[in-house]
Amino acid sequence: MQVTGQAETQLNLEGIVIGKVVDFDPESDQLYTFDLTANNKTITLEILENTSTFSTWVEDELSAHHARYGIGGYDEHRTIYARSQHFDTAEEPRRLHLGIDIWGPAGTPVYNFHDAVVHSFKFNDQYGDYGATIILKYHINGQVFHALYGHLSLDSLQGLEEGQHIPGGKAFASFGIPEENGFWPPHLHFQLIFNMYAFKGDYPGVCQYAKKAAFLNNSPDPSPILKHTFKSALI
């Protein structure tokens, strides 16, 4: 599969009511932006090599900043992917993140921000992968795009069928525990995708830096969707 730069590059959300992706009260809840690049010297190899230790580090960071969620990662070059061979390739390792992560407790409900149908779903059960994954397909203002929800609970996949209607506002999934989410600290990987190519239940969430332009063109910044959840708290 060769991702090209021929996809649309911008979302057209004009006049559309966009709902929340997670519960968040901008009047009382705090949001903390994580830096998971090499610039963050507090993330050691010892932390990354053990999922329980990594999870505790995330929890401690959120607690120290009095934050309900951590967020960040779009177009971020992350050294943390060295923890898994899943991101290694012969020519160049994959390190550039293509979505936004929302870090929070396992079991956190995930809501559909607008009417959609199930494109596909899958349990990507490999260390470092998405774990339980759902991809929804949206038709908005004559534009078709998809949202990948990764690192979910296995229960989120129960009862799903391709083509199934998921109404806007419905809590349809939840954050998974490490054993169900690819062995990561609990969080949601939220990524927009124009062209799914031949993928079903999966799509790269991290790419090689040399292929950055094509992949970012096909996966636009999800912030225009998430700003309706986090309001002024979203940086």
User: Could you tell me whether strands 69-72 and 31-33 are parallel, antiparallel, or unpaired per DSSP bridges?
Assistant: parallel
- Say what the pTM is: 0.93
| Domain 31-233 CATH class label | mainly beta
Q: In this predicted structure, what is the pLDDT of residue 87?
A: 65
Confidence of residue 231 (pLDDT cuts 50, 70, 90): confident
Closest alpha carbon to 224 in 4, 9, 6: 9
Please enumerate, as own/partner, the contacts of 228-231 that have beta carbons within 8 Å and a separation of 24 or more: 228/18, 228/19, 228/20, 228/113, 229/20, 229/21, 229/22, 229/24, 229/113, 230/24, 230/26, 230/31, 230/71, 231/24, 231/26
Q: Per-residue pLDDT tens for 29-43?
A: 999 999 988 898 898
Q: In this predicted structure, what is the pLDDT of residue 38?
A: 84
Amino acid in position 79:
T
Q: In this predicted structure, what is the pLDDT of residue 4?
A: 62
Q: Per-residue pLDDT tens for 122-141?
A: 999 998 899 999 999 999 99
